[in-house]
């Protein structure tokens, strides 16, 4: 069994800690938030985010970053995307050469347009950076409800090691060399999920949301391929799989925030109401800038940005999307006549 540490004790970090502990690993769960540490130590439960999910005895809870980083086979970065860089800077001198790091956050840094693994490679060049993503809401994973995810790594040997570390009979893990595709699928689906929530908030139906999700994955795929990702990845667990669950689940903070905006609430008020980091808000502007940089058409992403940052109503943005010029679904397909 391995010594595994998770940096970030929010819902996803806590859920993965439970998975890893149930697999028999020696698990350390770290947070910089003292009140969170006190709660987890006192109740062995994240009462705010994962009520009812009890931490197994083989999880050590700590606020000591050195303790969390020392002598670990695997370190999981489970902090929210806006805090990945600052957390990496904090532990830079604690990370040894060749340390395996698994990023499980999802996002794109607005100021640099870097993915989270790119940030970690920049801040922790001595480490081996990998990713894990897929349809995996923490509320279900922590309760042992079955799902499947994908691990991305440069080295197949590392991917297989992580597959064996995380996988069990209710948490199936696939492997892939396509880190770029995995990260972009996981990040951009949050922006589409905001739009799906807006559709529900406006009172539209299943047809509307299915159409939005389908055209959303088309946009994600266009940008993903332009940035070096693979179509197969974006049609897989971290693309379509994660998009489906995030656009439709009651557990999705992005969908829930979008729904409030569709009902007329401002972005700021919606984020306060959800009471968690809404990753799609942070990724939306970066996604728009990446689309412009790569000369890729992403009208849904553009519309979400208009609602978030330009004061346009969700109803108006939807109307403009539906009345754009006539186009083919896939322009590259050839006509026989």
> Has 157 been annotated as catalytic?
no
Q: Which of 304, 285, 269, 324 is nearest to 198 (CA)?
A: 304
Phi, psi of 251 (to 5 degrees): -85, -10
Task: Give the active site residue among 72, 106, 189, 209.
Answer: 189
Tokens read off for 256? 């829930």
Alpha-carbon span 6 to 79, nearest angstrom: 9
- Token pair, residue 107, equals 């996002």
Angle (CA) 327 329 335, round 5°: 90
Distance CA 287, CA 305 (A): 9
Active site residues: 189
């Amino acid at each position: 069994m391995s010594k595994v540490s998770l940096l970030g004790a929010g819902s996803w970090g806590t859920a993965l800690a439970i998975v890893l502990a149930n697999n028999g690993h020696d698990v350390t769960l770290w947070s910089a938030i003292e009140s969170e540490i006190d709660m987890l130590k006192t109740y062995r439960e994240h009462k705010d985010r994962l009520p009812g999910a009890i931490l197994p005895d083989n999880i050590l809870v700590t606020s000591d970053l050195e303790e969390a980083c020392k002598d670990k086979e695997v370190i999981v970065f489970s902090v929210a995307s806006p805090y990945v860089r600052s957390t990496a800077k904090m532990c830079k001198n604690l990370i040894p050469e060749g340390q395996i790091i698994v990023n499980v956050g999802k996002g794109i840094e607005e100021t640099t347009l870097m993915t989270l693994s790119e940030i970690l490679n920049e801040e922790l060049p001595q480490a081996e950076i990998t990713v894990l993503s897929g349809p995996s809401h923490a509320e279900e994973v922590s309760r042992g409800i079955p799902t499947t995810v994908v691990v991305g790594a440069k080295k197949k040997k590392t991917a297989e090691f992580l597959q064996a570390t995380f996988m069990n009979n209710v948490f199936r893990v696939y492997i892939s060399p396509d880190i770029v595709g995995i990260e972009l699928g996981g990040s951009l689906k949050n922006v589409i999920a905001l739009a799906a929530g807006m559709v529900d908030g406006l009172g539209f139906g299943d047809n509307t949301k299915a159409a939005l999700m389908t055209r959303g994955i088309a946009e994600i795929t266009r940008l993903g391929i332009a940035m070096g990702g693979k179509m197969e990845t974006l049609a897989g667990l971290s693309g379509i799989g994660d998009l489906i669950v995030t656009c439709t689940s009651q557990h999705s903070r992005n969908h829930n925030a979008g729904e409030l905006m569709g009902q007329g609430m401002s972005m700021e008020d919606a984020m306060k109401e959800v009471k968690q980091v809404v990753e799609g808000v942070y990724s939306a502007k970066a996604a728009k800038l990446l689309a412009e940089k790569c000369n890729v058409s992403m009208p849904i992403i553009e519309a979400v940005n208009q609602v978030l940052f330009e004061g346009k109503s969700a109803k108006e943005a939807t109307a403009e999307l539906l009345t754009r010029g006539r186009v083919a679904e896939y322009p590259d397909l050839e006509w026989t006549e």
